[in-house]
Amino acid sequence: MRPWLELSPRALTANARAISLRAAPARLCAVVKANAYGHGLIPTARSLSEASIQNLAFGVFTPNEAISLRDAGISEPILLLGPAADADLEPLVRAGVEIAILDADDVGRIGRMRATVHLKVETGTHRFGLRWDQVGAVASELRDAGARIVGVYSHLADSEELDAAFAREQLARLLDSVEIVGLASGSRPQRHIAASAAAILWPEFRLDMVRGGIALYGLWPSEGVRERMRESDPSFTLEPALRWFAPVVHICDAAAGETVGYGCEFKCTRASRIAVLSLGYADGLPRAAGNERGRVRFGKSYAPIVGRICMNACMVDITDIAPPVQRGGAAELDVEEIAAAAGTISYEVLARLPAEMERRFA
């Protein structure tokens, strides 16, 4: 009796089509890193590949993800967004994976493989990327080595801020870099900088391609983005593609004054009925969501998580739930609610869902 996930390929493809339609004529790069945000890498990619989305591409972070997609028969362009070791390069090039140039040290070792590449430009996030004053020399070196530059891109630091002032500074730096690369390489590479928030909100950021991540899976990049779209275009909607369930494996009674869980931090103020769920922090439930910060749902009723969350279990107060909860029943968790209760973001909760957790596809 273990927790499980229910996945909806229909919701996933509906979200992808909505993003693709909104971003057009820019193409959609579906970001499926971190096990497709917990949704399952191969089933997610196959569902999207079969959805007939024009000019679809995929984005991954690790070489293993890229090769796994090719081995599963995914034929669309794949962009490796993360670093690659020397040993990874030959298999990636052989598989036709487009490789990101993330810093100056990448240029020689990837260029000599005659790889197809995207140059990442550091425009203000200070994570990965070439400084914009390096890109001309890098483009020339790659051209001379026989590499093919098909993209120039960057990543926004604060696209969820609704005035987007700093994001526009980053966009200007990227566009300047694209011109330099074009002159140095004699090509017109794809330009991309928008992830979910900018792709949804800001037409000028869509350029030639958008990288759809969290929105692809039916969750909003932030509450601000959700509210802005509710006001400006209520016809644009997202549907969560994942539901999260945990079975009730034990029920017990606790008297007023008795405590629940490690540390005796939760004390019952009344006679209470406590259900134990087979779900803990080893299963992706953040420990910070315990002690009445988080809750679960039984039908239309909610039960608070009481006491500390354990490695493989948590306790919920079902005293007020009607009809009474039975052993063998199941509670449902809302990813966004759990993230808020734990003081984190939905991205983190999804990315930490274990790969071995059962995933049921409806």
Cα 261 to Cα 18: distance, rounded to the nearest angstrom: 44
Strand partners, 194: 210
Catalytic (active site) residue 302: no
Provide the 3-class DSSP secondary structure of residue 172: helix
The candidate with the shortest Cα–Cα distance to 104, out of 86, 128, 80, is 128
For residues 145 and 183, is the Cβ–Cβ distance under 8 A?
no
Provide the 3-class DSSP secondary structure of residue 280: coil
Give the tokens for residue 2: 């273990």
Q: Which residues lie below 8 Å from residue 291, measured CB to CB, with a gap of 6+?
A: 265, 266, 305, 306, 307, 308
For residues 154 and 210, is the Cβ–Cβ distance under 8 A?
no
For residues 260 and 307, is the Cβ–Cβ distance under 8 A?
yes
Catalytic (active site) residue 300: no
Count Cα atoms within 13 angstroms, Cβ side, for 186.
Answer: 8
Give the tokens for residue 354: 């274990």
The burial of 326, by beta-carbon neighbours within 10 Å (0-12 exposed, 13-18 middle, 19 or more buried), is given as: exposed
Question: Choosing from 33, 120, 153, 347, which is the catalytic residue?
Answer: 33
End-to-end CA, the chain: 20
Question: Choosing from 153, 262, 302, 347, which is the catalytic residue?
Answer: 262
Q: Which amino acid is at 195?
A: A
DSSP code, position 184: H
Give the tokens for residue 307: 């006491």
Ramachandran quadrant class, 329 (left: phi over 0; alpha: psi -120 to 50; beta: rest): beta
Catalytic positions, written as ranges: 33, 262
